[in-house]
Amino acid sequence: MNYHIFSTTELAKKTAEYIVRISKKAVSERNRFIVAFSGGSLPKLLFPSLASEPFCSEIEWKAWHVFWADERCVPPINSESNYYLACKHLFDYVDIPPSQIYIPNTSMEPAGMAALYQSKLQKIFRIKDDELPCFDLLLLGMGEDGHIASLFPNHPLLKEKKRWIAPIFDSPKPPPERITLTLPVINNARCIIFLVTGKGKAAVLKKIFQEESTLPPLPAQMVKPVYGELHWFLDEDVASELD
């Protein structure tokens, strides 16, 4: 695990700089860059930097393939939609081909939505059910309760082993119906970046970093890449309680 602490004003730029680097590496090695976004405060915080110079012109946007780490079951024009946030802060300004932005069908009920989204993953990654997709990058935030994507503390989905994408009907945060990547897929990524800010999350971050014996573990503590890298990009406020 690696962590990087910056001032709030520098954090997004430093994170974007790192994303440019791993995007170039993926395109050089595999001719494409497959990434999954989460929502919350991350799009507003990070995406304007990616869409601005000097980073925008350094990225080969036409090689990007975009999925979501989770999505709420709301229309794509709803302000609570993670897709909507990505459009507002990134897609409207860069040249990712629309056919390479894989939008969950939020008009379906969650179970069907999750199954259809898993089939999209299978098609793009060209793998079978008994294999796991390997994202080049997962961009994740973290809630004040330590949740990630739509995996919440003490939720049964934390034990999911078979499905890549799972429906959730009882999210403790509204809206209650969502879909989410499961931990086996998250932990199979080549690189995971957490982008976390604010004093409101300082206590839970300290618990994650310095109290590893927490039982049961928080979802963020369960992110342990099998082969890949894990990076925490933090502002000074959220890191204020770390030793």
Q: What is the pLDDT of residue 90?
A: 97
Q: Count CB-CB contacts under 10 A for residue 18.
A: 15
Nearest to 186 by CA among 164, 218, 212, 159: 164
- Cα-Cα-Cα-Cα dihedral of 69, 72, 77, 78, to 10°? -130
Tell me the domains of the chain and their CATH numbers. Answer: 8-135+148-190 (3.40.50.1360)
Q: What is the pLDDT of residue 211?
A: 67
Q: What is the pLDDT of residue 1?
A: 75
Nearest to 22 by CA among 169, 143, 191, 189: 191
Q: What is the pLDDT of residue 201?
A: 96
Q: What is the pLDDT of residue 94?
A: 97
Q: What is the pTM of this model?
A: 0.95
Average pLDDT for runs of 10 along the chain of length 243:
90 97 97 95 94 97 98 94 96 97 95 96 87 96 95 95 95 94 98 96 91 78 95 96 84
Q: What is the pLDDT of residue 176?
A: 94
Q: What is the pLDDT of residue 108?
A: 94
Q: What is the pLDDT of residue 212?
A: 62
Q: What is the pLDDT of residue 27?
A: 98
Which three-class secondary structure state does DSSP give residue 197?
A: coil
